[in-house]
Chain A
Amino acid sequence: MARNLLGIRLLQREDIEELLEIAGDLKLRTLEGRAVPQIHGQVLGMLFFENSTRTRVSFEQAAHYLGIKVTNFATTSSSMAKGETLKDTILTLRYERLNGLVMRHRLSGAPSLAAKYFGGPVINAGDGQHEHPTQALGDALTILERKGDLEGLIVAIVGDVKHSRVARSNAWLLSKMGAEVRFVGPRTLVPEASGALPGKIFYDLASGIDGADVIICLRLQRERMEEGLLSSIGEYTSMYQINKDTLRYADSECLVMHPGPLNRGIEVDDVAADSERSAITSQIENGIFVRMAALHWAFQADEPAPAKKKAKV
C-alpha cells in the first residue's frame, strides 16, 4: 500500500518519528558506505510546476541512492501550457504507469488534487503557501543531530510567516514533537490569524528569540515590498536581522537555520550564516536523507523500516 506525504499537519507524531528514524538509519548507512535498501522497479515523476533546482536535485539524489528511476517534466513546455487541466495531466501520468509523483506547485492544495487522481504515492515538494513537508523533516533531522531531542526546545521562526510554507510545516512538525514554537516578525507578515498555527506570536525580535535553542530564518521575498507589506529592506533588516548582535538574545548554543536560498545581509548576516552555530549546510545534506526516508515511507507503507527489512531471496 502506498501513502501520500502531502503535509505535516495531517501526520501523527508516530509517523514523524518513523520518518526521522528511517532517515537517520539511511544517513548512517550512506556515510559508512554500507548498502542502502533499494526500491526496485519504480519510476518516480518529478512534476515541478514552479522552478526549484535545489529541491528537485535533492529528490533526484534521494531517488538515485534508492535505485528509483526518475522522470522529469518540463511543465512550462508540456501539455499544461497548452491548456490541459491538472487533473488530466495527473491522469495521463497515472496511465503512463508512473509509480510515484514528487510535486511542486505555486498553488496551495494542488498536491491534494493530484493525490485524488494519481492513485499512487504523491509527495508534496512545496505547494503555494501551504506546506513543504520534506524541508521540515530535514530541518528536524538537523536539529535532532545537533540537540539530541526536539522535546522542550524553543524554536523561533523569524520572518515572513504569512507567506511561508516552510514556516507552516516546521511549526506543525516541531509542535507535534513537543518543541515550543514562536513566530517572530512584523504584523504585516505575521498577522493575528497566524495564531491558528501552532506557535506563539512575537513582534519584537529580542523577546521572540529570548533563550531560543534554534532560530529558523525565513527568506524575505522582494515582492513583499511592492505589495506594501514592508516599507524597505533596511527597515526590516534593522528590526529582524539575525546577526552577531541580535544572536546575543538567544541561547548561547543556539542553532541558526535557513531553508535557502539565502538573502545574505537581509534576514541573516555573514557572521550568523557562516558561524559554527549555523546549520545551513547540514540542512541541505539532510534534505537528501529525509527525502530518501519519505520515498521509503510513501512507497512501502506496509513494510517495516529498512533497518529491519529482510534480504531479498
Chain B
Amino acid sequence: MRTLLKNGRILDPSQEMDRLGDVLIEDDQIVEVGDISDGSDIDEIYDCTNLWIAPGLVDPHVHLREPGSEHKETIVTGTQAAAAAGYTTICCMPNTNPPLDSPALIDFILDRAASPEAGGVFVAPVGALTKGMKGHELSDLSSMKRAGIVAASDEEFPIQNSRVMTQAMETCVQLDLPIMAHCEDASLTHDGCMNEGAVSAVLGLKGMPRSAEEIAVVRNCLLSLHTGCQLHIMRVSTWGAVEMVRQAKFLGAPVTCEICPMHFTFTDEAIGDFDTRFKITPPLRTQVDIDLLLQALNDGTIDCISSDHSPHASHEVDVPFAEAPFGSAQLESTVGVTLTMLTHKGIISPLETIRKLSTMPAKILRLDAGTLKPGETPVAQACVIDPNCEWTFDRNRSFSKSKNTPFHGMKLKGKTMLTFCGSEIYRDALFGEDRYSIAE
C-alpha cells in the first residue's frame, strides 16, 4: 500500500523544513518527504494543494478522566477527539480516581488506549509524582517508568512542601524522568476561583493572586537549577511567570513551559456574568498578561502549546461559579484557535506553529513523535491542516463527551483535515471528495 500526500506545504520543524512537496507513506511508514524519487505504484493520492502537511500533533497535557470519571470523558472518546484534531500522541494526566500512581494503572491506561474502539493515537501517560497526589510520599516512579510513563506530575494538587519537591526532583534526575508542574502556592489560592483583580472585586468572587503562580514557578525553577531535574511548567498565565522562566533558562536550568489557548485568547473579563466556562486554573488574567505571553510565544520562551483538555459533564458546570470545577473541553478547538489567534495574526510563523504543537512537546517529553523523518517514529504520524478553512466551532459535533467549551459558536480559521497514525485515522467532512483518488 503506497499513499501519496501530494503537493502540500510541508512543515517539519524537526528538519527545519518549510517547502512545497509530497510525502509518501508505504504501509504504515513514512518513506519519503519532499521530492519523491519513485512515484510508481501509488495506490491512493490525497491532493494537499494549499494545505499543510505536518508531523502528527503532540499534546503534552490532556485529561482523559479514566478511570473514575467516565461521565466526563473516556479514553475512547478522548482519543477520538484527539484524532479529529490532528493529534497522534497525547499525554494523559494522572489526576484520575484513583490517581495514576501505580504500574497497574499505567498498564490499564495503555491497554485501553490500544483497544480497537479508541481513536488510534498514542497515549503517553504521566504518572502521579506522589502517592495519591497527596504531596507527601513519592510514588513508585521507577516501576511506573518501566510501565511506560513519560513524566511525573501531581497536576492540580502541586507539591507544597519544598523538601518533598526537592526529593522528587532528585529522584527524577536519577530516573531521567521529566517533572511536569502546575505551579500554585495553595496558601494564596485557598477557595479562590478566578484571577484576583478588578473583575473579582466587582463580582465578589475570591481571587487567586498572580503571585501564587509566580512564587511556585520561582521555587520550582530554582530547585530544577540546583538539582538538574528536567522541569516542564504547565500552562503559564502571567507575565511574571514567563519572566521567571526566561530568567531560569538564562541561568541554565533545564526548564520548559507551555501555554494553553484559553490563556492567550481570553482575559478575566470574559467571565462576564459568572460564566463557568471561563473558570480555569491558573485563572484567566489580564490584557497585559496576554500581550506579554504573545511576546514570549514569539521569542520562544514559551516552548509549546497544550490543549489542557479538561472535560466536565454539563451538570457539573451549570452551578454557581465558586462551585464549578476548573477547566473545559479543548482538544478539538486548539488547532483552530491557535491558527486564528497566533498564526494568522503573525505572532508565530506556520513552521513555529507546528513546532509548538508537535515537535517541541515531543522533544521535551522525549517521545518518538513530532517528525516526518522516515524511520524516526514507530509508525507514520502526520496530519494535514487547511490553514484557511473558515468554520464555526460546534460542540454538538465534537467527539469529546464534554460539551462545556467557551469556543462554542466561535468563528475560527484553520482546521485539521486528515490525521495519519500508521494509517488514516481521521478524515474531516470538509476535506473535498475530489481531493482523494484511488489509482487504477
Tell me the complex Cα distance, A194–B321, Å.
20
A112-B274, A113-B274 as given contacts; A107 in contact with B202, CB under 8 Å: no
A112-B274, A131-B204 as given contacts; A107 in contact with B199, CB under 8 Å: no
A86-B319, A113-B320, A128-B322 as given contacts; A108 in contact with B201, CB under 8 Å: no
Determine whether A260 belongs to the interface, using a CB cutoff of 8 Å to chain B.
no
Which of B198, B200, B320, B321 has the most chain A CB atoms closer than 10 A to its own CB?
A: B320
Chain A residue numbers with a CB within 8 Å of B203 are 108-109, 130
Determine whether A291 belongs to the interface, using a CB cutoff of 8 Å to chain B.
no
Is B274 within 8 A of A109, CB to CB?
yes
Determine whether A311 belongs to the interface, using a CB cutoff of 8 Å to chain B.
no
Tell me the complex Cα distance, A129–B320, Å.
13
Tell me the complex Cα distance, A183–B93, Å.
45
Chain B positions 204 through 219: 1 when the CB is less than 8 Å from some CB of chain A, otherwise 0: 1111000000000000
A85-B315, A193-B196, A193-B207 as given contacts; A109 in contact with B321, CB under 8 Å: yes
Determine whether B21 belongs to the interface, using a CB cutoff of 8 Å to chain A.
no
Determine whether B111 belongs to the interface, using a CB cutoff of 8 Å to chain A.
no
Determine whether B318 belongs to the interface, using a CB cutoff of 8 Å to chain A.
yes
- Shortest Cβ distance from residue B214 to the other chain A in the assembled complex, whole angstroms: 17
Is A196 within 8 A of B274, CB to CB?
no
Tell me the complex Cα distance, A129–B201, Å.
9
Determine whether A197 belongs to the interface, using a CB cutoff of 8 Å to chain B.
yes
- Shortest Cβ distance from residue A41 to the other chain B in the assembled complex, whole angstroms: 31
Tell me the complex Cα distance, A7–B197, Å.
20
Tell me the complex Cα distance, A127–B274, Å.
12
Is B315 within 8 A of A197, CB to CB?
no
Chain B residue numbers with a CB within 8 Å of A197 are 201-202
Is A191 within 8 A of B322, CB to CB?
no
Tell me the complex Cα distance, A128–B204, Å.
7
Tell me the complex Cα distance, A264–B313, Å.
48
Is B204 within 8 A of A130, CB to CB?
yes
A109-B320, A113-B274 as given contacts; A168 in contact with B204, CB under 8 Å: yes
Determine whether A110 belongs to the interface, using a CB cutoff of 8 Å to chain B.
yes
Q: Which of B201, B320, B321, B323 contacts A193 (CB 8 A)?
A: B201
Chain A residue numbers with a CB within 8 Å of B319 are 85-87, 113
Which of B197, B203, B315 has the most chain A CB atoms closer than 10 A to its own CB?
A: B203
Chain B residue numbers with a CB within 8 Å of A195 are 198, 201
Which A138-152 residues sit within 8 Å CB-CB of chain B? none
Is B321 within 8 A of A107, CB to CB?
yes
Determine whether B440 belongs to the interface, using a CB cutoff of 8 Å to chain A.
no
Determine whether B16 belongs to the interface, using a CB cutoff of 8 Å to chain A.
no
Tell me the complex Cα distance, A107–B321, Å.
8
Is B318 within 8 A of A196, CB to CB?
no
Chain A residue numbers with a CB within 8 Å of B273 are 109, 112
Which A37-89 residues sit within 8 Å CB-CB of chain B? 85-87
Q: Is the interface of A mostly helix, strand, loop or mixed?
A: mixed
Chain B residue numbers with a CB within 8 Å of A9 are 202
Tell me the complex Cα distance, A222–B205, Å.
20
Is B201 within 8 A of A191, CB to CB?
yes
Is B320 within 8 A of A107, CB to CB?
yes
Determine whether A187 belongs to the interface, using a CB cutoff of 8 Å to chain B.
no
Is A129 within 8 A of B197, CB to CB?
no
Which A149-196 residues sit within 8 Å CB-CB of chain B? 162, 165, 168, 191, 193-196
Tell me the complex Cα distance, A165–B205, Å.
11
Which of A108, A165, A191, A197 has the most chain B CB atoms closer than 10 A to its own CB?
A: A108
Is B202 within 8 A of A108, CB to CB?
no
A191-B201, A196-B197 as given contacts; A107 in contact with B318, CB under 8 Å: no
A130-B204, A165-B204, A168-B204 as given contacts; A110 in contact with B198, CB under 8 Å: no
Chain B positions 173 through 211: 1 when the CB is less than 8 Å from some CB of chain A, otherwise 0: 000000000000000000000001111111111110000
Chain B residue numbers with a CB within 8 Å of A191 are 201
Tell me the complex Cα distance, A127–B273, Å.
13
Tell me the complex Cα distance, A162–B207, Å.
11
A85-B315, A85-B318, A86-B320 as given contacts; A108 in contact with B197, CB under 8 Å: no
Which B317-344 residues sit within 8 Å CB-CB of chain A? 318-323
Is B322 within 8 A of A107, CB to CB?
yes
Tell me the complex Cα distance, A131–B321, Å.
15
Tell me the complex Cα distance, A193–B202, Å.
9
Q: Which of B318, B321, B322 contacts A87 (CB 8 A)?
A: B318
Chain A residue numbers with a CB within 8 Å of B320 are 86, 105, 107-110, 113
Chain B positions 297 through 319: 1 when the CB is less than 8 Å from some CB of chain A, otherwise 0: 00000000000000000010011
4 tightest A-B CB contacts, nearest first: A196-B198, A109-B274, A129-B204, A130-B204
Known pairs A112-B273, A196-B199. 19 more at Cβ < 8 A?
Answer: A9-B202, A85-B318, A85-B319, A107-B320, A107-B322, A108-B203, A108-B204, A108-B321, A109-B203, A109-B274, A109-B320, A109-B322, A113-B318, A168-B202, A191-B201, A195-B201, A196-B197, A196-B201, A197-B201
Chain A contacts to B: CB under 8 angstroms: 9, 85-87, 105, 107-110, 112-113, 127-131, 162, 165, 168, 191, 193-197
List 22 interface pairs A-B (beta carbons < 8 Å), by A numbering: A9-B202, A85-B319, A86-B319, A86-B320, A87-B315, A105-B320, A107-B320, A107-B321, A108-B205, A108-B274, A109-B320, A113-B319, A113-B320, A129-B205, A130-B205, A131-B204, A165-B204, A193-B196, A193-B200, A194-B201, A195-B198, A196-B198
